[in-house]
Structure 1
Amino acid sequence: MKTSTTLASIAALAVLATAPVFAQGRLSLLDRGEYVCALPGDATSSAWVEQEGRGFAITGGSSYRTARGSGTYLMEGKQVTFTRGPMRGTRMMLLGSGMLQEVGRDGKLGRLRCHRTGPVAD
């Protein structure tokens, strides 16, 4: 009987050990709207330098579109990962309401920030 209890405990631990490591929090959605992306400027120019072609629109559900096409994203907790379409592989961190910051391949926050500017333009 003791052996079966030990085996059951080991099996339970094995299941816990194989749980997804990437599960960071509840699934949620970004606010619908147009997002403009920019890099910080400097004291000799404007505070933000908009990056042509980096903007996108959250169109509903977990969908987005850019000038190059549309795709989907996954938001777990504050981590946003673009899973399909032209931004596939891009990762961002939600900083606050309508503000995202790009996450580099090394897991560190990058310089690019994207903020919601208003409703989706049709």
Structure 2
Amino acid sequence: MRYAAPIAIAIAALAASPALSQGSLGVLPQGEYVCALPGVATGSAWNEVEGHGFSITGASSYKTDKGSGTYLLEGRRVTFTRGPLKGHKMMRVSSGLLQELGKDDKLGRLRCHRAGPVAD
């Protein structure tokens, strides 16, 4: 028992270490997010990808046509933690724009932008 306090202090110090943290926790602006891929010079600039859109409905909550879930915004990284998008990762590029992150943490082509308030 006399080692419990020093161990607890060491664990707390590791958890608070800036090297281990990704940034402060936050939430995304509520609203409908439309996802699209870049187009081509001879056609439309963006091509909406059906079935990839979602709505941010509250603090760390989202919904899709397939159900609802939660996400974690840590610094600029968004990780969907529960629900139909579980495991999907994105990078916050600006206040209303997210870009897909691949398994190698490189930015992908898919971008999701806030298109307006949540539709009723």
Judge same fold: TM > 0.5, yes or no: yes
Map Cα deviations across residues 76-110 of structure 1 (whole Å, 9 max, x no partner). Answer: 01000000000000000000010000000011000
Q: Tell me which residue corresponds to 2:83.
A: 85
Structure 2 CA distance for aligned equivalents of residues 27 and 19 of structure 1: 14
Q: Which moved more, 1:20-29 or 1:62-71?
A: 20-29
Structure 1 CA distance for aligned equivalents of residues 44 and 20 of structure 2: 38
Shift of 1:19: 3.7
Q: Tell me which residue corresponds to 1:109.
A: 107
Structure 2 CA distance for aligned equivalents of residues 58 and 22 of structure 1: 27
- Total equivalences in the alignment: 113
CA RMSD of aligned residues (A): 2.2
Structure 2 CA distance for aligned equivalents of residues 91 and 22 of structure 1: 18
Map Cα deviations across residues 40-61 of structure 1 (whole Å, 9 max, x no partner). Answer: 0001110000000000000001
Structure 1 CA distance for aligned equivalents of residues 31 and 96 of structure 2: 9
Q: Tell me which residue corresponds to 1:59.
A: 57
Q: Which moved more, 1:22-31 or 1:80-89?
A: 22-31
Q: Tell me which residue corresponds to 2:3.
A: none
Share of identical aligned residues, percent?
65
Structure 1 CA distance for aligned equivalents of residues 111 and 73 of structure 2: 17
TM-score (norm 1): 0.84
5+ residue gaps, structure 1: 1-7
TM-score (norm 2): 0.85
Q: Which has the larger radius of gyration?
A: 1
